[in-house]
Amino acid sequence: MKIRSFKVGIISILIVLLASIPFITHEGELFVVASDEVAEVTEGLSLEEKLDQLLDNPVLDRSIVGVSVRNAETGEEIYANDGDIMLHPASNMKILTAAAALEILGPDYQFKTEIWTDGNPRSRVLQGNLYLKGKGDPTLLKEDFDEIAQQLKDKGIMKINGNLIADDSWYDDVRLSQDLNWSDEPFYTGAQVSALNLSPNADYDTGTVIVEVTAADKAGEKAKVNLEPYTNTVNIVNKTETVAAGQSKSISIEREHGSNNIIIKGKMPLDGSMSRSWVSVWEPSYYAADVFKQSLEEHGIDFLGRSKVERGVTPDDAELLVTHTSMPLSEVLVPFMKLSNNGHGEMLTKEMGQVVHGEGSWDKGLEVLEDVAVNFGVDGKSILLRDGSGMSHKTYIPASELSRFLYEIQDEAWYEHFEYSLPVAGESERFVGGTLRNRMTSEPTKGNVFAKTGSLTSVNTLSGYVLTVEGEKLIFSILNNNYISGSVTPIQDAIVTELAKHTFEE
């Protein structure tokens, strides 16, 4: 079998039909937008020749494409294009993180959030501090805090003469991974990592608050701003104006770097639709504790005197009052993988470091990740792992190593949970199709491709499994790196479509 090397050559009969060079601006830069159409592959060719045609495309000129295809039953690599070149996986890194979490923690693993006190819990007035101790739950919601507050009330606690202490010591206090761009940190994709965190809704974007902007009652007034959940942790700086119906909307929502000032600018017409943004919070432990304090007060549990919300560590002689447990890991992986949740990837990495090495840090968590990858056949000398989400531009793995990993994990008892967590092509339900719900929406790919997407600036990736028309299973990894214009997703989809059509008699 011939393994194709990277080609920059004559354009084949398969081309991307370029549009007439429209431009869009993004932060002051110009980008060329190319057509998303891909021509039909010539019939009667071998699989290798068909994939070669798809890769011989002007959109890919001067970029690198690592491709690996394996027989899922035997592990034989039946096609490779620069499969041994170390490339950025983007969110395909989450494949390693999810599998490692299943291997190390197990599908039934649950995260705990604990309430402790150094006072007397048998008194209606608790004389002492209340400690909110987070242990890495990436799915905590305001509703969970409401349940905890009710349990404390059921124990007879009505007032607290002390402080509320946010204990996030289960992990270290390094909030951002070493390669995260500073310009990413105000947004949900770059939210800070803490053992005590909170999500605004059931998408579980940890460490974020939802900011909603709607028109005021009349023109000339500032637009209305709503927070979900409400928190005193952030400061809204409203620089908006409501304008007459029919005018254009121009609303921007962004947290000021290094602070919790959320700056909202622009014009909102009276008939304008709501603007909504998931904004990351600076120091999310305070955010979680602030919302928990609200839940306590809403359930009639008041703090006396000049009580404060502080960060601290639960004393060794404190008494445990309430333990809240999360959904099992197998369920956590669904929003993590299908919606490509970066925060989950980093929390899982630190959790593995804590469980295996007693240290909830990126360094120890990445040690675990690399050990798991090597144990499942990945060449340790060919990879460099820098975070658990794939946001790093310094993480490297070859396509052939990633496809080998996807092959090796198939016999594990937890594999069914891993496969279930992958986005499914063409399935419109968000928690089924995930990031593939609007791709490959027709036969033979719809419902037959289970794969993880990934994207960074100049990086677009897709790796997973596809069922062929004959019911056979193939493994693939496609890592596009170093392209700066056009769209490569139609080429990826065309490759996977040819794999779905593949018959082993070819």
Q: Is residue 133 part of a domain?
A: yes
Contacts of 185 (CB under 8 A, 6+ apart): 176, 191, 192, 257, 280
Task: Find the catalytic residue in 50, 63, 68, 94.
Answer: 94
- Residue that terminates a domain, selected from 293, 327, 361: 327
Where residue 162 sits, what CATH number does that domain have? 3.50.80.20
- Phi and psi at residue 262, to the nearest 5°: -100, 115
411, 422: one domain: yes
Annotated catalytic, 12?
no
342, 249: one domain: no
475, 341: one domain: yes
479, 395: one domain: yes
Spatial separation of the C-alpha atoms in residues 318 and 167, rounded to whole Å: 13
458, 388: one domain: yes
Task: Find the catalytic residue in 91, 277, 389, 403.
Answer: 91
Q: Is residue 138 part of a domain?
A: yes
141, 290: one domain: yes
Q: Is residue 45 part of a domain?
A: no
Annotated catalytic, 91?
yes
Residue 48 is predicted with a pLDDT of 95
| Structural domain boundaries enclosing 442 | 61-107+330-501
Annotated catalytic, 285?
no
388, 435: one domain: yes
Task: Find the catalytic residue in 177, 340, 389, 421.
Answer: 340
Q: Is residue 407 part of a domain?
A: yes
102, 119: one domain: no
Q: Is residue 224 part of a domain?
A: yes
- Residue that terminates a domain, selected from 327, 351, 384: 327
What is the domain count for the chain? 3
271, 318: one domain: no
Where residue 480 sits, what CATH number does that domain have? 3.40.710.10
Spatial separation of the C-alpha atoms in residues 448 and 440, rounded to whole Å: 9
Q: Is residue 197 part of a domain?
A: no
78, 117: one domain: no
Q: Is residue 29 part of a domain?
A: no
Asked if 452 and 464 count as a contact pair (C-beta separation under 8 A), the reply is: yes
Contacts of 170 (CB under 8 A, 6+ apart): 133, 134, 135, 136, 195, 196, 354, 360
414, 307: one domain: no
CA distances to 143, 208, 280, 343, 442 from 192, rounded to whole Å, are: 21, 9, 7, 8, 39
**Residues in the chain with pLDDT values less than 50:** 1-35
Residue 85 is predicted with a pLDDT of 98
367, 458: one domain: yes
Spatial separation of the C-alpha atoms in residues 476 and 449, rounded to whole Å: 10
CA distances to 10, 169, 224, 378 from 311, rounded to whole Å, are: 62, 9, 32, 41
Q: Is residue 182 part of a domain?
A: no
